[in-house]
Amino acid sequence: MTALIHDAETSRSAPEIAAAIHAPVPTVSKILKILARGGLVVSLRGARGGYLLARPAGQISLVDIIDAMDGPIGMTECSVTPGLCAQESACAVRANWQRINQAVIGVLQNITLADMLTPVNRPVNASAIMLARTPKQASPTATTTQEEEA
């Protein structure tokens, strides 16, 4: 979809988009058809045909794109569609999964397709990421056991 943003007034064919993003034409064609069914792109026929965004990139959220491609966002099945799990009525964590799901959806609703093309000027601290993934080792204790004192 980002390949359609640069010149929002000019339609682009599936092969043009595929070349711009270095992806196979059949894959791009399938994705464009799905996005068209989802109302995010418009397909124009004819010699000057192709695809255009259905609305400005600043009005298309990541939730819109994910919904069009995969359906409703759900961290768990029960957070989207009730009644799919036999454990649902007695599940102690369902409400928390629903809260998490709503938080994720809230964040994704606030990020637009236009935002995705805007560079983020925050450097990534790879050291902090690695430290967070490394299991913490037990620190030596200052106290000694009775056996060590004897």
Provide the β-strand partners of residue 52. Answer: 42
Whole-number Å distance between alpha carbons of 50 and 108: 28
Cβ-based neighbours of 29, under 8 Å, separated by 6 or more: 14, 18
| pLDDT above 80 (res 63) | yes
What pTM was estimated for this model as a whole?
Answer: 0.70
Residue 8 pLDDT: 64
Among the CATH numbers 1.10.10.10, 3.40.50.2000, 1.10.1200.10, 3.40.50.720, which is that of 1-54?
1.10.10.10
- The full set of domain ranges for the chain reads 1-54, 57-119
pLDDT by residue (tens digit) across 107-124? Answer: 999 999 999 888 777 776
